[in-house]
């Protein structure tokens, strides 16, 4: 495969054909020559779903900002990864996310919020938020979709990118879009094998291992074993 040369934040670099803008930028960032591009829905081991748009960058001659995580770099491309336009887009996106969901357990998103000077209360309190009851239907993990930004990383981990279990998937449309099991059955009635990959992949704390939640609530290891066994008997 041949190489291509692009200019990224004023630096020329040559990368193999097929390299994404994000991968090229990461190469420069590792050498201290470019800022880090923030990502949310992107996971290095999954197919980029290109949903959150937090990674957008400016490409010369392109009318719209492009997602660095999925856009393949081209020969002669000129890219700005941190221009005022890019920073403003990221700020507004973060403010919109804050307006819709609870990001209190999303450390990366909180650090981006600070970095881009986004105001979590920009859109005030008069708008409809995505709120759901907490699902506590199995012995291993909690599902709190009021914290879900619909990045799809959990469904990718559950599906073709890792586990091939297909216990969870997207349901409904538009504002009603959400993550669910097939036919919204409780987790123990789904195909879930409790591998934990979805919990691992979730960037917002919408999915949380129960043991982690209990430790956060102050249980010691002895209490943890007792509560776990009790739960397993009740819900297993
Ligand atoms: S539950 Fe977590 S991983 Fe799944 S879509 Fe929501 S935020 Fe993303
Ligand atoms: S990280 Fe690129 S669109 Fe989400």
In tens, the pLDDT along 183-235 reads 999 999 999 999 999 999 999 999 999 988 888 888 777 777 777 777 777 76
- The rounded mean pLDDT for the chain is 93
The pLDDT tens digits for 52-95 are: 999 999 999 999 999 999 999 999 999 999 999 999 999 999 99
CA 36 – ligand 1 centroid, Å: 23
Instruction: Give the confidence band of 236 by pLDDT, cuts at 50, 70, 90.
Output: low
**Which residue among 148, 152, 172 has the greatest number of ligand 1 atoms within 8 angstroms of its CB, and so is best to mutate?**
148
Instruction: List CB contacts of 197: < 8 A, sequence separation 6 or more.
Output: 157, 158, 162, 163
User: In this predicted structure, what is the pLDDT of residue 125?
Assistant: 78
Whether the pLDDT of residue 181 is over 80: the answer is yes
CA 51 – ligand 2 centroid, Å: 6
| Strand ranges of the sheet holding 11-16, from the earlier edge strand across to the other edge | 11-16, 3-8, 78-80, 56-59, 66-67
Instruction: Give the confidence band of 3 by pLDDT, cuts at 50, 70, 90.
Output: very high
CA 116 – ligand 2 centroid, Å: 16
Enter the tokens of residue 223.
Answer: 């209490």
Q: Report the alpha-carbon distance of residue 227 to residue 188 in Å, rounded.
A: 18
Q: What is the mean pLDDT of the segment spanning 1-8?
A: 93
**Which residue among 37, 38, 47, 52 has the greatest number of ligand 2 atoms within 8 angstroms of its CB, and so is best to mutate?**
52
CA 54 – ligand 2 centroid, Å: 5
User: In this predicted structure, what is the pLDDT of residue 219?
Assistant: 78
The pLDDT tens digits for 16-40 are: 999 999 999 999 999 999 999 999 9
Query: What predicted TM-score, i.e. pTM, was given to this entire model?
Result: 0.90
Enter the tokens of residue 101.
Answer: 């969901």
State whether the beta carbon of 41 lies less than 6 angstroms from ligand 1.
no
Q: What is the mean pLDDT of the segment spanning 127-150?
A: 93
3-class SS of residue 59: strand
Using the atom order of ligand 1, give the atom closest to the CA of residue 201: 3
User: In this predicted structure, what is the pLDDT of residue 11?
Assistant: 95
- Ligand closest to the CA atom of residue 146: 1
CA dihedral of 142, 134, 178, 190, whole degrees rounded to 10: 50
State whether the beta carbon of 42 lies less than 6 angstroms from ligand 2.
yes
Q: Strand pairing partners for 179? A: 170
Using the atom order of ligand 2, give the atom closest to the CA of residue 68: 2
State whether the beta carbon of 106 lies less than 6 angstroms from ligand 1.
no
CA 157 – ligand 1 centroid, Å: 10
State whether the beta carbon of 142 lies less than 6 angstroms from ligand 1.
no
Domains of the chain: 3-83 (3.10.20.740), 141-235 (3.30.70.20)
**Percent of the chain whose predicted confidence (pLDDT) is above 70:** 99
State whether the beta carbon of 143 lies less than 6 angstroms from ligand 1.
no
User: Which residue's alpha carbon is at the smallest distance from atom 1 of ligand 2?
Assistant: 39
Alpha helix stretches (DSSP H) within the chain: 21-30, 84-100, 107-115, 153-158, 197-201, 210-216, 221-235
Q: Report the alpha-carbon distance of residue 16 to residue 21 in Å, rounded.
A: 11
Check: CB of residue 180 under 8 Å from CB of residue 167: no
Closest CA to 142 of 198, 104, 220: 198
User: In this predicted structure, what is the pLDDT of residue 235?
Assistant: 60
């Amino acid at each position: 495969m041949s190489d291509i040369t692009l200019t990224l934040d004023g630096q020329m670099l040559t990368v193999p054909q097929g390299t994404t803008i994000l991968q090229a930028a990461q190469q420069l960032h590792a050498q201290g020559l470019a800022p880090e591009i923030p990502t949310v829905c992107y996971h290095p081991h999954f197919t980029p779903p290109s949903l959150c748009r937090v990674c957008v960058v400016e490409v010369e001659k392109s009318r719209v900002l492009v997602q660095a995580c999925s856009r393949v770099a081209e020969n002669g491309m000129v890219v700005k990864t941190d221009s005022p336009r890019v920073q403003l887009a990221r700020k507004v996106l973060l403010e919109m996310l804050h307006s819709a969901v609870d990001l209190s357990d999303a450390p990366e998103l909180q650090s981006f919020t600070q970095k881009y000077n986004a105001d979590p209360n920009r859109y005030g309190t008069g708008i409809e938020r995505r709120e759901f009851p907490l699902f506590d239907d199995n012995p291993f993990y909690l599902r709190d979709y009021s914290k879900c930004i619909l990045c799809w990383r959990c469904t990718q981990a559950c599906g073709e990118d890792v586990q091939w279990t297909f216990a969870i998937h997207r349901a409904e449309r538009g504002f009603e879009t959400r993550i669910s099991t097939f036919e919204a059955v409780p987790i123990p009635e789904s195909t879930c094998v409790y591998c934990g990959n979805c919990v691992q992949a979730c960037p917002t704390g919408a999915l949380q291992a129960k043991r982690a939640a209990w430790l956060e609530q102050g249980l010691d290891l002895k209490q943890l074993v007792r509560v776990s066994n009790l739960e397993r008997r009740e819900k297993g």
